[in-house]
Amino acid sequence: MAGRARTYPGWQLLLLLMVIGGIIGSWIGDAIVKLWPALSILGRVQSVGLPTFTMDLHVFSLSFGFMFNINFFSILGFILAWVFYKRL
């Protein structure tokens, strides 16, 4: 079937795989840093995002915010999740 474009599963599956890959990558990174403290530079966490913002209106309060805590191992997990997604 020449000329046929490959279709991938939906973006929802990609998002789920990326989240799972980031979480598992962070867990593995924490374990590796605990086993080999010399690799602590790879386990350093960089926080990116919006700090929690709370708006109190005396009737109700609204809070919004999100943070990404990224390190080398979570990025590696994202990459592996993307490669896994492309192979589906």
One digit per residue, the tens of pLDDT, for the chain of length 88 reads 566 777 778 889 999 999 999 999 999 999 999 999 998 888 899 999 999 999 998 899 999 999 988 999 999 999 999 999 998 8
The pLDDT value recorded for residue 32 is 92
Domain presence at residue 4: no
Half-sphere exposure of 77 (CA within 13 A, CB side): 21
Domain presence at residue 51: no
Contact 74, 29 (CB under 8 A): yes
Say what the pTM is: 0.76
The pLDDT value recorded for residue 8 is 72
Domain presence at residue 15: yes
Domain that holds residue 27: 11-36+68-88
The pLDDT value recorded for residue 36 is 92
Report helix, strand or coil for 16.
Answer: helix
Contact 60, 17 (CB under 8 A): no
User: How many C-beta atoms lie closer than 10 Å to residue 72's C-beta?
Assistant: 18
Contact 13, 30 (CB under 8 A): no
Domain presence at residue 86: yes
The pLDDT value recorded for residue 9 is 81
How many separate domains does the chain show? 1
The pLDDT value recorded for residue 1 is 52
Domain presence at residue 45: no
